[in-house]
Amino acid sequence: MIKYILPILFIAALSAGWVIVQLIAKKMKTKNHIDNLGNGECMSCTCGGVDEACENENK
């Protein structure tokens, strides 16, 4: 039983840590994966996901 619980807890902690890092990146207005989910505005540009760079590239 414990051989199943420990890997599951490890993966859950790793996933939670990734989400926290992404939320911090969003708050700091740096590149993160949360902003790129489903909005489709900057998916085809080469700006790296930074909104200001995408606006400048599209002009």
Confidence category of residue 4, pLDDT binned at 50, 70, 90 = very high
Q: How far apart are CA 36 and CA 17, in angstroms?
A: 19
Q: How far apart are CA 55 and CA 45, in angstroms?
A: 10
User: Could you tell me if 25 and 36 are in contact, meaning their C-beta atoms sit under 8 angstroms apart?
Assistant: no
Tell me the mean pLDDT in the region 9-31: 91
**Mind listing the pLDDT tens digit for each residue in 21-43?**
988 988 888 876 766 665 555 55
Q: What is the structure's pLDDT at 32?
A: 67
Q: What is the structure's pLDDT at 31?
A: 74
Q: Which single residue is written with the structure tokens 């590149």?
A: 31
Instruction: Give the global pTM.
Output: 0.52
Q: Pick the residue with more confidence: 35 or 57? A: 35
Taking CB atoms within 8 Å and a gap of at least 24, the contacts of 35-38 are none
